[in-house]
Amino acid sequence: MPREMIVILDFGSQYCQLIARRVREHNVYSRICKADITAKELSKLPVKGMILSGGPASVRDAGAPKCDEKIFEMGIPILGICYGMQLGCQILGAKIIAAEKREYGRAKLAIVDKSELFANMPDSTTVWASHGDQVGELGDDFVKLATTGTCPFAAIRHKEKDFFGVQFHPEVAHTPKGSLILKNFLYDICGCSGDWKMSDLVSEAVETIHEQVGDAKVICGLSGGVDSSVVASLVHKAIGEQLVCIFVDNGLLRRNEAEDVVSTFGDHFHIDLRVVDWSERFLAALGGITDPQQKRKIIGFEFIEAFKSAASKIANAKFLAQGTLYPDVIESGAKDGNPAANIKLHHNVGGLPAELGFELIEPLRDLFKDEVRLVGEYLGLPEEIVWRHPFPGPGLAVRIIGEVTTQRLEIVRAADEILIDEIKSAGLYRKISQALAVLVPVGTVGVMGDERSYENVIAIRAVETPDFMTADFSQIPYEVLGTISSRIINEVRGVNRVVYDISSKPPATIEWE
């Protein structure tokens, strides 16, 4: 256990893990706990400070989540964010009301007290707000630190207790000075030393896996992507030959995918790798299916069948290692008490172990993609694996709008290969977080040679994002887009038009299905 930590109480915010990540970026260990953890339980941990997260509820509602009020008697600094501020203020005597004007999106923060929390800050700054309630009456026990145009108490502190509150989200990228605010809290207010490193997380994970597994076998579903590759490397570091990796060839992969995985992990890393060719079963089951959620369900079912077939041949296998990341947990929604909406159905968060009767190992569950890459670099994985763009579990099936056929797979597979080749040639691959080609089931008229054509549309999607919770489209230079378009139209039979997707997430998702 680290010698010091920041505990984050989770009140249901989708940004909760982002808070933990921001804390770790300042080299301070963070741990997320349920909102109702007791002060007595917390006293057993080396807690230097606490953060109360935001949340979707209103503190004025009878059933709103609460915390143990004794945490305010522990003598440790506490920072309340949005809902967490309102809850702390309510407990300590302030009045919370429904705001006359709700505040969502960017707001201009005017700082009136530049000591402690807002040390080294400008007089005003942009912040990201998301609230319908706010403090209405502060009382004599508090000091106002900042305001916005519609929120008179946008930041506060208690005069006697070490409680601070902000009615905005310092953890998101849309609050440019948010990192400095958190740094002030961690170092100047909590007195953290900042000596925690990502390598500490790796060491802790290795130790935990080794103790959990004992002498049993662990199965890992290896796709060749960064998430499953880092999991396989991490588990292999912990238990060596007790790890067996299974690669399922579903026929929905990029060009030469299966061969590359075998070469890298079987031949180079000498990991016990079992390859299951289930491609004919997948494609047969998908025949005639156009509904995207039905496609995902079919792919999930066939993947489990393929995995079960391979796993049944591995003696003493009791654990399953998965590369689940925190955005997967959030976007799978409504599981394990997660209040987030169900956005994705293809993530294997918890489903496969129940089918196989295995105990689950998810060492990356609390991490974002960029943190996983740091772990991969620390473990010595090759650059081409560590920095590979994400690839969805259902493969190219979710990049084909409508029915999945062998012919349509070849079209999108060829377009994908050209897209990745050209952004690499332009030196953009590391700058772009994810790039993909989508086959759109729309025929458009064109002229190819001297003849009229009526063929398919390929949509190009490329985004930049630090965490995949939000994303902006990549501003690829026109000349690069022109080259991509020209090559796809000239080299991929069945395509006569290429378009570029310039939507952001939200409201759009990164994948099209």
How far is Cα 102 from Cα 58, in angstroms, rounded to an integer? 13
- Label residues 24-53 b or e (16+ Cβ within 10 Å = b): bebebbbebbebebeeeebeeeebbbbbbb
Q: Which element (helix H / strand E) includes 54? A: none
∠ CA(204), CA(205), CA(207), 5° rounding? 65
How far is Cα 488 from Cα 307, in angstroms, rounded to an integer? 35
CB atoms < 10 A from the CB of 475, how many? 11
* Cis peptide preceding 327, ω within 30 of 0: no
Q: Which element (helix H / strand E) includes 11? A: none
The closest of 50, 17, 55, 9 to 33, measured between CA atoms, is 9
Asked if 236 contacts 269 with a C-beta cutoff of 8 angstroms, the reply is yes
Torsion sign across C-alpha atoms 415, 420, 424, 428: positive
The closest of 133, 139, 176, 179 to 154, measured between CA atoms, is 133
How far is Cα 495 from Cα 446, in angstroms, rounded to an integer? 10
* Residue 478: partners with Cβ closer than 8 Å, 6 or more residues away: none
Q: What is the DSSP track for 105-172?
A: EEEEEEES--SGGGTT--SEEEEEEEEEEEEEE--TTEEEEEE-SS-TTSEEEESSS-EEEESS-TTS
* Residue 466: partners with Cβ closer than 8 Å, 6 or more residues away: 173, 368, 370
Catalytic annotation, residues: 82, 169, 171
Instruction: List the end-to-end C-alpha distance of the chain, in Å, as a whole number.
Output: 41
**Tokens 């003493």 sit at which residue?**
316
